[in-house]
Structure 1
Amino acid sequence: MHNRYLLALALLPHLLLADELDSTVDTSTQCLVEPPVPVPSSDDRDLPLDLQQIKIVSDSSTAKMGDKATFAGDVTFSQGGRHIAADNAVLDQANERLDANGNLVFQDSMFTVTADSLSAEMRSNSAELSGAQYWLHGQQIHGEAEKLEITQDNNLHLTNTNFTTCPPGDTSWLLEAETIKIDSTEEWGELWDAKLKIGDVPVFYLPYMTIPVSEKRKSGFLFPLFSTSTTNGVEVATPYYWNISPEYDLTFTPHYMSARGLFLKSEFRYLAGEAQQGQLNVEYLGNDDLIPNSPDRYLYHWQHQGAIDDNWRVLANFTDVSDNNYFNDLNSDVLRATDNQLSRIGEIAYFANNWDVTARVQDIKVLGEDESPYQVMPQVAFNYRAPELWQGLDFSILGEATNFRHKEDQYATANRVHIEPTLSLPIHGPAGSLTSEIKLLQTNYWQDTNDYSINQDLDSSVSRTLPQVRIHGQINFERYTDYFDSNYRQTLEPQFQYLYVGYEDQTGIGLYDTALLQDDYYGLFRDRRFSGLDRIADANQMTLGLTTRLFDEHNRETFKFSLGQIYYFEDSKVGLIDPSQPNTVLEEQNTSNSVLAAELNTQLYNDWFVSGAIQYDTKESENKKSEVTLDFRPGINKLMQVSYRYVPDLVNSNTNESVNISQAGVRAAWPINDNWYIVGNWYYDLNESRSVETYTGFQYESCCWAVRLSYHYRIKTNYDDDLAPTFEDRELFEHGFYLNFVIKGLGGSGPLGVSDMLDDGLFNYRKPLYLKN
């Protein structure tokens, strides 16, 4: 389970617990706080205390048997893992007591202490140091104490003390306390009469609090969140983390929005044995003040996955919300505003060496859609593989039995059984490959329509048998050449695929899980035009493609270009039919060739990269889809990107109108110096002549604290409101300011990072295929 830092009673304003996704600058060296001298090793440190040998070395010494021994000049005292260095020391043999002073250093496996004087009781394995400075090993935590006690359990008790994670001499923040107790076993510290100073200015006082000195989990408050926006108003969230047991934990977050009310969120996580885990989320807003007469708004989400044993696997995922605009209006911990599909899946699978079987149920809720997809209730799938069955031939067979049900009586229900045996002969070598494949696609449907069904023309039973032949070959050519005074290995990889699939009229079959697939370059070499099995398109076609690459002297790919197209020997007669309009064909293949698909990824020069793809209709001379990005990445967290994407004839699911998407974007992330950097995004809709998203974030980060101020302006997705149908006063755009603040070592999670800012918003940053590390 994930570790979490926290405060037991933190009431700090404007703070946020953030996961460390990326580092702003390399602070591993400049932030490292080292104790004065390294901890020495000892051969007997694992032995019981009474069996550990005591070693004392000094420049001079005087001793009386059974009484006291005095040591002077570079005195070192070692016992197991403990080590003391001082100018002078006195060993009271009768009372088993050691007193030392002068340039004193005490070390063990957990901490290092420098002090004015030390008094140690060897019998109880305890010590007391005055005027101490201490460092915790493996942590940036260090501080001072008027008195420091080391108990026989190796715990620390500090009086009139302070600590920080900032480098020595840096007082960006300092925590002072009358008493601190650090438990070396639990690896947590308890503070009494604590006072936090930022820049020598006291900012808050707490009579009691706890702090982490490692990554162990403990119950308490996480850092609060503060933000403000035009739709939600002022927002303050104060998460509380409950470490129930090693197998269970719970995070409860009261989230107040001045414009909407109190939003309650909870996340329960669990481990079920060594190989299974899951979580349960519940979110609730009792009355949305922004929406008149709003009923309760809620979310519940459960996910579970893992292995029962070496063969059995389980998976479950269920999410439901009260209304279509839940994710658009509220800051959920489960999904983003750009997600409009709620998947509900339950699956159990058994895996053996050459076969597997899976049983699943599935339901998908699409937010903002009037019609809902079919439910899979249930589906049983079987796969069997027999490689090199005979004379290099591979055999496999897959099958499935599926029951499709619909929540609405106006659609048919169906049972489908599909069996697909395959016989293939793969031939592979350095010069290329050739794979010949024969399939038999046998599908049976039993469809049940009632008097209210829209699709009355469906056949009650269907038996569809289709043969399929596929031959795919590729040849690998390569040569050594030079471009721009650099040596390269260039490859030329032509490939072809012949595909034949028989034809049957399939208009009597409903559409249960089938949709048209995209025609990108790699999609040209698929053996299907549709997902699912309700439509299997007839085919008599040849696909030709070509890929060329450049590899530098270190065998790193610096250039890749692919180009391909399908040539149809016969028109395909199978298309998609809308179940609500049986006589309307939405898509049909009746042209001599497919779109011309091309993809490019290249390192232009040094730190300049280009990534692009296009799908071009050569018959109609139309651009069907294109996107291109130009990146400049001269170093870690340094990025300048310009992008453009074009998608014509995109159907709006709410209005069923066709729209063209033509958008340009600029994205940048750049360090101003070692501590400051800026991230910005801007996307513009060329068709609507308006900005659709703007994001600007400034962040300062040092070794011991970080702060980020960001501004976000973005278009807001609004669905038909099933929560309050009469409420139409929804803003098209939303903008707001956000403040994140982390004190490292006080429940902060480290640097806020660049990558989380790049991923924040409607358009996530997608790193192109970078060809250079």
Structure 2
Amino acid sequence: MRFSLILTFSVTPFTVWATDFVQPGECEAPRPPELTSPTTLEENENDRAVRVNANRSEAVAGDSAKFEGQVQLTQGVRRITAEQAKVSEAEGKLTATGGIFYQDLGVSVAADSLSADMNASEAELSKAKYWLNGQQVHGDAKLLQITADDNIELTDATFTTCVADDPTWELEADSIILDSETEWGEIWHAKVNMFGVPVMYMPYMTVPITDKRKSGFLFPSIATSSDNGFDVSVPYYWNIAPNMDATLTTQVMSARGTFVRGVGRYLQPWGQGQVNLEYIGKDREDDNQDRYLFHFEHAGKLDKNWRIFGEFTQFSDDNYFSDMDSDVSTNTDNQINREGEVSYFSDNWDMAIRVQDIEVLGDVEKPFQVMPSLTFNYYQHGIPANLNFDFNSELTHFAHRDSNHLTATRLHLEPTLSLPYQSPLGSLNAELKLMQTFYDQSGLNYQQNDDLDDQVSRTLPQLRIGGQMNFERDFQFKGNDYLQTVEPQFQYLYIPHEDQSDIGLYDTAQLQEDYYGLFRDRRYSGLDRIADANQLTVGLSTRVLDDGLHERGSFSIGQIFYFEDSEVSLGSEDEQRQESTSALAMEGQWQIDQRWALQGSFQFDTQSGDTNKTELSVDYQVDNDRMIQLSHRYVPDLGVDDNGDSVDISQAGLRTTWPVAKDIYFIGNYYYDTHLSRAVESYAGFQYESCCWAIQFSYYKELETNYEGEDFNTIGRTSDYDKGFRINFVLKGLGSSGPIGVSKMRDEGQFNYRKPYYLRN
């Protein structure tokens, strides 16, 4: 016969939470035999009554009670099972023996015996096995104590995140304290065993039991390279405040010296930002020069309408980013931006004031500085006759670092009237614009430039008419339903010619020509050159969507037809448009199935028969950790080689991530320059990751960029390689949730195509 007894004393619940060390669906945590589901526990969280069920009992009213046989004690979120239990109501004591199992929302414990002071909310369990519920953290303890502060104290204990009964790694400690208030665990006099062999001793350490941040050392990384020699990085994390932190990394390189870098971050209601400081004294690989970097960036708002942004970087030399493992930039970036802006936004107008200085690495012409630029924009849409009115204006002063260089001030006014029409069948837009620009170029600090006028006024009207039609049809392919759209598009653009050779070039450059660029109204960025135009652009796009309206493929093709030659250029007569058509531009992508995808672009000169540019990539991807990509890029006439001959960039690439065995992944990148007949970058790595530990090992070999070399301005300027090994080792649960993952590891060796001219050629 079952016996039930309800007591009415109160005990404060003790709860421990733990970090989720694995993603859902990955390694299952070792699970103890649960008494009840977590959902049921949560439902009873506010219940303070103690309920006891047992096969047999002896009770003295108001004094004590003894229970035997499948004893179950419940109170709120706590559950206890035992063979025997004794409750002293007068003393507020509980003792239990035989098959003890304790459970609450955060922890489950199996023990030989239990003794609890219910008035003080304390308990002791001897010879305990514990599990942090829903996590991988578990271990043994000679004595487990639950304190009145809701903490757990373990004596002669072990700690691991491995699921096996014979764990790969295990931490043995004299004392482990899991603090529910700080949400961190303190471990005293601990040794770490790997495969049963002691590998490390720590007199004191802390580990997270939630995702709450705390100051402390992070896992080091080890590498070796031809440039840095033997390389060890040790990061220290400083949790300054809930909205502020910093990471200080000490990197010791046998070939260079000690490199220290720090990054501080902050998050405030008025904005967020970070500060970077990096320094190496007497770099032995750079003639014992001191090398440094300072970086600051901030983005935020001053109130509802005001926004502010700032970015500033100062560094010791142009090769800094090529040589050092900077947290600010990468060795493929050739431009460093310094910018500050304050802007105001209202319902139908906005304004901003901005300063900008772009530092181009290497011995090249330095760009102008914007010091400052004031913009004002007004827009009123839906005025009578469905007209839209836009007014854009800009007042910019251009300065230069070279004191003996031209400076100028530019005022640009641009009112625009447009009449749009839209319907499901298509759209049509007529636009009339007047571009009025004034230049003051009298700021010549050393001598008058005969090619430029002190004062220039330029007035150019612009007419643009563009439209698009939308057609669609349903069709079936291999039993599946699809929708195809056909979207013809056109644009007529007219801008009269005006000689602009008396205007300097301050922020103007050639824009990229691709399919979408065919429908721009400008050939150049900036305002110093506005190319004359009398041209018609025609294009056609088609898309295929499945029955879920997911795009499975698209293709676009277009070309510009010139009715007159364009005479405006950036200074070279060769740049003038004297052909009847532009290059034929095509772009497309095709999701062949769930795994195969093809995408590419192609620009072909129909008059000369030359290819202007091609990009092509083929992807086979099962998931983020299993993929193969083949790619090729061709860009002609980027510069000259060491012999003064024109050079094309023709680079083929292979990137892959694939499992080679259980929990072992291979990551590889390889890029080859077919024009120069040499590898540009090689990267190969392996990662092993189990539920509780992981290791990454990689080898890389890549061309170095030397911005201060004699041949910097020529393609194929370097034949020096940097090569080396990297090792990253992690025990999950000891201050880390694991490696950066195979996808991030693959991107470590990712070749960068953002600046084709400055790729490590």
Normalising by structure 1, we get a TM-score of: 0.90
Q: Quick check: 1:65 aligned with 2:61?
A: yes
The number of residues matched between the two structures is: 726
Q: Deviations over 1:217-271 (max 9, x none)?
A: 1111111110001111000111112222223322211111101111111112222
Q: Which residue of 1 aligns with 2:328?
A: 334
Deviation at 1:455, TM superposition (A): 4.4
Q: 1:411 aligned to 400, 405, 408, which one?
A: 405
SS of 2:283 mapped into structure 1: coil
Matched letter for residue 623 of structure 1: T
Q: 2:341 aligned to 342, 347, 352, which one?
A: 347
Q: Quick check: 1:305 aligned with 2:293?
A: no
Deviation at 1:170, TM superposition (A): 4.4
Q: Which residue of 1 aligns with 2:414?
A: 420
Q: Deviations over 1:407-428 (max 9, x none)?
A: 1133211111111111112211
User: Which stretch has the larger CA shift, 250-259 or 626-635?
Assistant: 626-635
1-structure distance, mates of 2:126, 2:120: 19
Matches within 5 A, 1:367-386: 367-386=361-380
SS of 1:402 mapped into structure 2: strand
Deviation at 1:669, TM superposition (A): 1.1
Q: Which residue of 2 aligns with 1:284?
A: 279
Q: Quick check: 1:389 aligned with 2:377?
A: no
User: Which stretch has the larger CA shift, 477-486 or 198-207?
Assistant: 477-486
Q: Quick check: 1:587 aligned with 2:582?
A: no
In structure 2, relative to structure 1, the CA distance for the partners of 1:615 and 1:765 (3 Å cut) is closer
Q: Quick check: 1:241 aligned with 2:229?
A: no
Deviation at 1:438, TM superposition (A): 1.3
Q: Deviations over 1:523-566 (max 9, x none)?
A: 10111111111111111110000011112233222121110000
1-structure distance, mates of 2:99, 2:348: 70
Q: Is the 8 A contact 1:242 1:251 kept in 2?
A: yes
Q: Which residue of 2 aligns with 1:28?
A: 25
Q: Which residue of 2 aligns with 1:444?
A: 438
Q: Which residue of 1 aligns with 2:675?
A: 687
Q: Quick check: 1:634 aligned with 2:622?
A: yes
Deviation at 1:26, TM superposition (A): 7.0
Q: Which residue of 2 aligns with 1:502?
A: 496
Matched letter for residue 343 of structure 1: N
Q: Deviations over 1:158-214 (max 9, x none)?
A: 000011111141411101101011110111111111000111111011111111111
In structure 2, relative to structure 1, the CA distance for the partners of 1:212 and 1:634 (3 Å cut) is closer
2-structure distance, mates of 1:218, 1:654: 54
Q: Which residue of 2 aligns with 1:8?
A: none
2-structure distance, mates of 1:546, 1:746: 57
In structure 2, relative to structure 1, the CA distance for the partners of 1:43 and 1:519 (3 Å cut) is closer
Q: Is the 8 A contact 2:641 2:647 kept in 1?
A: no
2-structure distance, mates of 1:623, 1:709: 41
1-structure distance, mates of 2:436, 2:413: 5
SS of 2:444 mapped into structure 1: coil
User: Which stretch has the larger CA shift, 534-543 or 665-674?
Assistant: 665-674
Q: Is the 8 A contact 1:479 1:489 kept in 2?
A: yes
2-structure distance, mates of 1:730, 1:496: 46
User: Which stretch has the larger CA shift, 705-714 or 236-245?
Assistant: 236-245
2-structure distance, mates of 1:332, 1:405: 29
Q: Which residue of 1 aligns with 2:692?
A: 704
Q: Which residue of 1 aligns with 2:213?
A: 217
Deviation at 1:585, TM superposition (A): 4.1
Deviation at 1:516, TM superposition (A): 0.6
User: Which stretch has the larger CA shift, 633-642 or 398-407?
Assistant: 633-642
Q: Which residue of 1 aligns with 2:16?
A: none
Deviation at 1:656, TM superposition (A): 8.7
Q: Is the 8 A contact 1:374 1:405 kept in 2?
A: yes
1-structure distance, mates of 2:541, 2:264: 49
Q: Deviations over 1:701-740 (max 9, x none)?
A: 1111111111101111111259xxxxxx997111111111
Ranges in structure 1 where 5+ consecutive residues have no aligned partner: 1-19, 578-583, 723-728, 767-773
Q: Which residue of 2 aligns with 1:162?
A: 158
1-structure distance, mates of 2:502, 2:457: 11
Asked which structure has the greater RCO (Cα within 8 Å, sep 6+), the reply is 1
Q: Which residue of 1 aligns with 2:734?
A: 746
Q: Quick check: 1:601 aligned with 2:601?
A: no
Q: Is the 8 A contact 2:220 2:728 kept in 1?
A: no
Q: Deviations over 1:262-320 (max 9, x none)?
A: 1111112222x32411111111111111233x321111101111122221111111112
SS of 1:758 mapped into structure 2: helix
Q: 1:74 aligned to 45, 70, 73, which one?
A: 70
SS of 2:119 mapped into structure 1: coil
Q: Which residue of 2 aligns with 1:716?
A: 704
Q: Which residue of 2 aligns with 1:41?
A: 41
2-structure distance, mates of 1:554, 1:43: 40
User: Which stretch has the larger CA shift, 168-177 or 566-575?
Assistant: 168-177
SS of 2:250 mapped into structure 1: strand
In structure 2, relative to structure 1, the CA distance for the partners of 1:680 and 1:382 (3 Å cut) is same
Matched letter for residue 672 of structure 1: V
Q: Quick check: 1:732 aligned with 2:751?
A: no
Q: Which residue of 1 aligns with 2:17?
A: none
1-structure distance, mates of 2:124, 2:719: 65
Q: Is the 8 A contact 2:701 2:723 kept in 1?
A: yes
Matched letter for residue 256 of structure 1: V
Matched letter for residue 660 of structure 2: I
Q: Quick check: 1:314 aligned with 2:314?
A: no
Deviation at 1:765, TM superposition (A): 9.5
SS of 2:289 mapped into structure 1: coil
Q: 2:97 aligned to 82, 93, 101, which one?
A: 101
Q: Is the 8 A contact 2:586 2:601 kept in 1?
A: yes
Q: Which residue of 2 aligns with 1:143?
A: 139
Q: Which residue of 2 aligns with 1:262?
A: 258
1-structure distance, mates of 2:496, 2:505: 20
- Aligned Cα root-mean-square deviation (Å): 2.3
In structure 2, relative to structure 1, the CA distance for the partners of 1:245 and 1:603 (3 Å cut) is closer
1-structure distance, mates of 2:642, 2:325: 23
Q: Which residue of 2 aligns with 1:206?
A: 202
2-structure distance, mates of 1:339, 1:714: 15
SS of 1:391 mapped into structure 2: helix
Matched letter for residue 694 of structure 1: S
1-structure distance, mates of 2:112, 2:372: 75
Matched letter for residue 439 of structure 2: Y
Q: Quick check: 1:189 aligned with 2:185?
A: yes
Q: Is the 8 A contact 1:758 1:764 kept in 2?
A: no
Q: Which residue of 2 aligns with 1:16?
A: none
Q: Deviations over 1:39-62 (max 9, x none)?
A: 443666358xxxx22222223322
Matches within 5 A, 1:459-538: 459-484=453-478, 486-538=480-532
2-structure distance, mates of 1:473, 1:235: 59
Matched letter for residue 285 of structure 1: I
SS of 1:467 mapped into structure 2: strand
In structure 2, relative to structure 1, the CA distance for the partners of 1:44 and 1:490 (3 Å cut) is closer
1-structure distance, mates of 2:73, 2:164: 27
Deviation at 1:35, TM superposition (A): 4.0
Q: 2:613 aligned to 600, 619, 625, which one?
A: 625
1-structure distance, mates of 2:368, 2:674: 37
Q: Deviations over 1:101-138 (max 9, x none)?
A: 22322222332212111111011011001111112235
SS of 1:31 mapped into structure 2: coil
Matched letter for residue 724 of structure 2: G
2-structure distance, mates of 1:747, 1:655: 55
SS of 2:321 mapped into structure 1: helix
Q: Is the 8 A contact 1:368 1:654 kept in 2?
A: no
